[in-house]
Structure formats: structure tokens, C-alpha cells
Homo-oligomer: A and B are copies of this chain.
């Protein structure tokens, strides 16, 4: 493993930093988080501390702390062998996750709808056009960018709900459904174009009108899509697989 000795401190740079410098474990945690939400890890893939430490150019210490944190929010799973893996996809778990997301994200967007400001509305409207830009040069399926844009759009709205309790729960739910979503988006691409931007436009319209009920319904339609799609795909696969 590459040495990562603590370098001598630079007192000048130290005093320039505001108050809270970023720790290595925070960086590692963020990286793993991003990778999980983006679905960069396979479901059922096992992760090793030393392997991740090598990949992230650090020692094992920040990695084990980050893994522990991800395990408590169910983004990863601790096997009885003490090894850790990204949770496998099952139909029951997908239904469970979707139900929880409808419940909590639905509540968050309904709250947010009643608190919209003109500035916020123009912000999320401008995010719609970003979506169109990407479609313009869609010769390459940029799944990463698609995932990032989708996440930014949703959380820009959720932040407006003003609940310091609900938002971390939603982040945890995205973390848990990340691997499924990536699989679903790939399946989308194979099955032909599906207009995510259309669903987002419906959401923005409801938000601009401060109509909580319509916003919730539009959101439910948006987040249900990949789940029902993936569910159909998995059921079709098992029908093909089991009789064989």
C-alpha cells in the first residue's frame, strides 16, 4: 500500500482555512457515498477495507470509519463473516424502498410546495433547461451525468421543505436505492428513450403553482418509474430463468 504519512503542517495555509478543515475520513465517506448513489458498485459486490484504502490512496483507518457509517444507514451490509458488501436487489426490498420513498419524499415535496419562493422556482426551472442541453448532445449515453442531474434537481426541491430531520432520511433512502436505480437506468436505455425531463417539468409546474397535492402526485410518478420498470424486468427474467 502506498505510504500516506502526515505531511508537516503549513501554519499559513492552516490559518487561511475557515475553521473546519476537511478530514480524510470525510473525503472517503463522500466518495463512497457518491459511488453508491451513482450505482458505481454492483449489487452483492463485497468491499474490502484494504482494497478501498489502496484505491483511495489512504490508510485503512478512514475507510473503516466510513464503511461503519455506511453500514448503519443500510447503504452497505455487514455479513456474519464480518465482510461488507453492497446489499443485493430483491423484489421485496425494492417495494419496501419505493413505499418509504413515496411516503417521505412525498411529504417533503408537499411541504416544499408551500414554501416556494420566486427565486427557488426560477432555480429549478433553470435546471430543466440543463436537462435539455444534455439531450441535445445525446450521441453518448452519459448515465453518470443523468444521475447527477436528477439528484441535484430533487434535492434542490427537498431542501426547501426546511426539515433537518426528513432530508437526511431521504439521503439515506437514495443511498439504499442507488444500486437499483443504476440498473434501472441502464435498462431504460436499452428499452428506448424515456423522457425524464417531462416528469420533471410536471413537478416544476405544480411547484410553481404551490399545489402540494399535484406536486406529490407528480413526484410519485417520477420516482416510481425506475422501480416498476426494474420490477417488470426482474419478473420477466425470473420467468425465463426458472422454467429453464
Contact = CB atoms under 8 A, between A and B. Distances in A.
Contact of A20 (B68, B80, B166): B80
A94 to B, nearest CB: 10
A97 interface: yes
A169 interface: yes
Interface string A90-109: 00010011011001100100
A19 B96 contact: no
Interface in A126-162: none
Contacts of A20: 80, 82
A232 interface: no
Interface stretch (A36-44, A69-77, A216-224, A234-242): A69-77
Interface string A165-179: 110110011001000
Contacts of A107: 103
Contacts of A93: 164-165
Q: Is the interface of A mostly helix, strand, loop or mixed?
A: helix
A65 interface: yes
A68 B71 CA distance: 11
B68 A100 contact: no
Interface in A15-37: 19-20, 23, 25
Contact of A165 (B23, B25, B96): B96
A19 B68 contact: no
Contacts of A168: 74
| Number of copies of this protein chain within its complex | 2
Interface residues of A, number: 32
A163 B72 contact: no
A64 interface: yes
Nearest to A111: B99
A159 to B, nearest CB: 14
25 contacts: A20-B80, A64-B65, A65-B65, A65-B68, A68-B69, A69-B72, A72-B72, A72-B73, A74-B168, A93-B164, A93-B165, A96-B163, A96-B164, A96-B165, A96-B166, A97-B165, A99-B163, A99-B165, A100-B163, A103-B104, A103-B107, A104-B104, A165-B173, A169-B169, A169-B172
Interface of A: 19-20, 23, 25, 64-65, 68-69, 71-74, 80-82, 93, 96-97, 99-100, 103-104, 107, 163-166, 168-169, 172-173, 176
